[in-house]
Amino acid sequence: MDLEQFDALRTPEGSAALDAAARVAGGDPLTAAAALRSAGVPAGLAAAALTQAELRRRAAGKFGPAARGMFLTRAGLEQATRGVVARRRAERLRAAGVATLADLGCGLGADALAAARAGIRVYGVEADPLTAAMAAANAQAAGLADLFTVECGDATAFDVTRVGGVFCDPARRKAGTGRRIFDPNAYSPPWDFVTGLAERVPHTVVKVAPGLDHALIPAGAEAEWVSVDGDLVEAALWCGALAGVPRRATLLREKDGPLVNASGRAGAPFYQLTGSGDAEAPVGRPRRFLYDPDPAVVRAHLVAELAGVLDATLADPSIAYLYGDEARPTPFARCLEITDVLPFSLKRLRALLRERRVGRAEILKRGSALEPEKLRRDLKLAGSEAASLVLTRVAGAPTVLVCRPLPA
């Protein structure tokens, strides 16, 4: 889509085409295009409207019902922050007293819209003209145009003395190819500029890839890892006055709560674990229960803190499975009951599973080079029972734990 096609979508004719596209999207694309054309929609406008309708359908998973009125590009949607994560961050910024915020590289505006919904005045800057125009349209569609304004330009030139806080979510994909960028120095705006913001603005937050190397965390900053329903989605650096603790894991449970509650506010529950990020958990033998920590806890290096909460131990100092004598309910880890601990041997494992009539097995692994799907084929499972198999190491030795899942 280009700016001209986008402008056409913003006319009354374009708006009618979008409504018609929403009614037919999701089915066969040729039938949908034919339906729009037979309703008198010109071919170019029909194609643009159908693309939007398709992107809006996909965006519903990220933004909930708000996706229905948004303008989207494929690349912008892929890079946008999930609604539930953006909302949580916006609430924290508001609670810290941030009343004006620059969003440097605001994309389609997912973070900026959440901040505006939390009552923060947001100045978005976006280098790509079409994305900037869509972000402004998204502000208007959400009824937030007086709280979130967008200028098209280079974020590095923005005068940050105008605002009380800065948020930056640098592009981590190559423009044009969409390929992921793993080297922070190749981010846009560049990493030096992004991390230098903290020295210029007392309230700075930077969104980063969840794979961020801890060595890159600026001194004094809080690094937060966020998961949604068990999937690790992002990390953020909270700098200056916003830094509360060295490391934080935030677990959002979207599936446990409505995305938007009856009064239009966020409803997803969340759990947080904090700590230094450099503590070490005690190491012992495997015990009766195994805890598989949430990926946000693991990436935040908070396994030792979780071990303290659960009175648990590791069985190998470099592997993030915890073991305890009791199954303590926790949102921070999944708990399995261990029935057998075997040094890894395909023959012995196959014999044991046959004896137990295990026909279905989930296979988890940490610290094992085995390929779960190949192992599953090699096991030739048959029977009516289910088991969880955990491939790991115990004191350095390849080990398989046969487990029974506990009710969540």
Ligand X SMILES: C[S@@+](CC[C@H](N)C(=O)[O-])C[C@H]1O[C@@H](n2cnc3c(N)ncnc32)[C@H](O)[C@@H]1O
Binding site for ligand X (CB under 6 A): 79-81, 105-111, 125-128, 131, 154-156, 169, 171, 188-189
For ligand X, the closer CB: 150 or 273: 150
- In the complex, the smallest distance separating the C-beta of residue 99 from ligand X, rounded to whole angstroms, is 20
- In the complex, the smallest distance separating the C-beta of residue 170 from ligand X, rounded to whole angstroms, is 6
- In the complex, the smallest distance separating the C-beta of residue 114 from ligand X, rounded to whole angstroms, is 9
Q: Is residue 194 within 8 Å of residue 168, measured between CB atoms?
A: yes
For ligand X, the closer CB: 105 or 293: 105
**What residues contact residue 110 under an 8 Å CB cut-off, 6+ apart?**
62, 63, 80, 81, 82, 83, 86
For ligand X, the closer CB: 131 or 392: 131
- Written as one letter, the residue type at 329 is P
- In the complex, the smallest distance separating the C-beta of residue 385 from ligand X, rounded to whole angstroms, is 45
Question: Which 3 state secondary structure label does DSSP give 247?
Answer: strand
Strand ranges across the sheet with 222-228: 148-152, 121-126, 100-104, 165-168, 203-208, 231-240, 222-228, 247-252, 270-275
For ligand X, the closer CB: 89 or 301: 89
For ligand X, the closer CB: 107 or 286: 107
- In the complex, the smallest distance separating the C-beta of residue 104 from ligand X, rounded to whole angstroms, is 6
Q: Is residue 87 within 8 Å of residue 114, measured between CB atoms?
A: yes
For ligand X, the closer CB: 89 or 248: 89
Classify burial at 347, counting beta carbons within 10 Å of its beta carbon; exposed 0-12, middle 13-18, buried 19 or more.
Answer: exposed
- In the complex, the smallest distance separating the C-beta of residue 168 from ligand X, rounded to whole angstroms, is 8
Pairing of strands 385-394, 313-314: unpaired
Helices (H) and strands (E) in the chain, counts: 13, 16
